[in-house]
Structure 1
Amino acid sequence: MLTLCQTPDMNAYGGVDLDTSLGYLLKQASSALRSAMEAALRPLGMSVTHYSCLELLAQRPGLSNSELARGAFVTRQSMNVLLRALEKDGDVTRPAQAAVGKVLPAHLTPRGRRRLETASVAVRGVELRMLRGLTPAMQSQASGILRTMVRSLSEED
């Protein structure tokens, strides 16, 4: 059963106690997940950001550079560099000129879809490994707790 403390535990000098800090534990989990995903994607010639971009475009075709950057948690500049590389490799297409404004909507190519399918299998394996030992009820509870945390941190004070 997952439980949460109402307030972060403090150590002797008033700082956050890393052994009991939920925020620190979340950061450790995030780092471990990213490392495992990078290891699974490396043999496919992809990074987590590369995979995230392809996944976002599969689920939401036509996203702009800025939208992809937000969805993949990277800067617009980093996403622009990645999109150029994905275009060069034949995974993504974008128009040469924007129809309106500056937005160049991106779309997966058939090659990009095939690469995504292979990468998705690898990433799903990492997720299954991460969830090993959790019952479906525990997974549902964890998902609800994490969504609540995201909502709480997104709210204005």
Structure 2
Amino acid sequence: MGQEGIHLETSLGYLLKEASSELRAAMEAVLRPLGMTVTHYSCLELLAQRPGLSNSELARGAFVTRQSMNVLLQALERDGYVVRPAEGRIGKVLPTQLTPRGREELRKATAAVRSVEVRMLSGMTQEEQSGAYRILQSMIQSLRSENEVRS
């Protein structure tokens, strides 16, 4: 590439991807001893915040395919973390809900993930943290708005 090429060290997109990758690796490291993955944790967190989400909604929220989410939900149900009714109303999706065991495991996982976030932000002042949130939210909104126009 010539001079007009992207320099990875100064590309904001590349740095965001690298930060995302490091965050995921750190989260996986603290969740592994709990027998969880980031996707596993994300699914439980989504269900805690919005009980009864469908497989498709959970998949979108956890950034995985519906097929992957279905496999995960079967495992979570087998392990006693979630319950799904055997049958839904005709034409309705089967609502998934956390069990007491699922809530307890989520509580442990949330504490572990929070420790990673605290470590990630430890070199920043409160003002810098607030600024980072605003900046990232603005970037997401700008990209989302442009993507919606193209759709």
Q: Is it true that 1:63 corresponds to 2:43 in the alignment?
A: no
Separation of aligned partners in 2, 1:116 and 1:94: 18
Percentage identity across aligned positions? 69
Superposed CA deviations along residues 79-133 of structure 1, whole A, max 9, x for unmatched, are 0100000000000001111224241111000000000011111000000000001
After the TM superposition, which residues 1-157 of structure 1 pair with which residues of structure 2 at under 5 Å, given as runs? 12-155=2-145, 156=149
Q: TM-score, normalised by structure 1?
A: 0.90
Structure 1 ranges of 4+ moved more than 3 A: none
Separation of aligned partners in 2, 1:31 and 1:100: 42
In the TM superposition, what is the alpha-carbon distance from 1:24 to its structure 2 partner? 0.0
Q: TM-score, normalised by structure 2?
A: 0.93
| Aligned length, in residue pairs | 147
The one-letter amino acid of 2:106's match is L
Instruction: List gaps (5 residues or longer) in structure 1.
Output: 1-10
In the TM superposition, what is the alpha-carbon distance from 1:13 to its structure 2 partner? 5.0
Separation of aligned partners in 2, 1:100 and 1:138: 51
The one-letter amino acid of 1:81's match is V
Give the SS at the match of 1:143.
helix
Instruction: List gaps (5 residues or longer) in structure 2.
Output: none
The one-letter amino acid of 1:36's match is A
Bigger mean CA deviation after superposition, 14-23 or 45-54 = 14-23
The one-letter amino acid of 1:117's match is R
CA RMSD of aligned residues (A): 1.2
